Amino acid sequence: MAMAFKDMDHDECVSLTRSIMAILDGWGLNGAAIMGVLAIPEGVPVRALRRYRENTPFPDDAAVYERVEHIIGIADALRTTYPHNPPMGVLWLQQNNRRFQDRAPLQLIVENGLQGLLEVRKYLDCSYDWHVNP
């Protein structure tokens, strides 16, 4: 599915990048955590996040776009779960959850990267879970 991003033009990639940055900023992540969650390649400085918020697309890297897909899936599932109260989605991400060994879902994402994104997405989006676990 990450190959679909290859079909996007520069402006679409910039728009996607801005949207993802807005989601991660809304989740309350700091720069280092955002770099880790997105698997931004080594050598890209944290200050690059400013450019991503403005007019630079994410690096053309399969690992980055795989994570972007999961971030979109999590954000969509939270919007569906809390359609009339978006701040509750962020609160849910920040509160400890027995399902994740009494860790907050956001902590799981930051600490476990791709695996954390997958676990949280599968928990929130049963249709995705069914897709990957037929």
Domain residue spans of the chain: 7-132
**pLDDT at residue 3, as a whole number:** 45
Q: By the 8 A CB rule, do 74 and 120 touch?
A: yes
Share of the chain above pLDDT 70, in %: 90
Query: Angle 30-17-39 (CA atoms, 0-180°, nearest 5)?
Result: 55
Render pLDDT for 47-75 as a digit per residue (tens, 0 to 9).
999 999 999 999 988 999 999 999 999 99
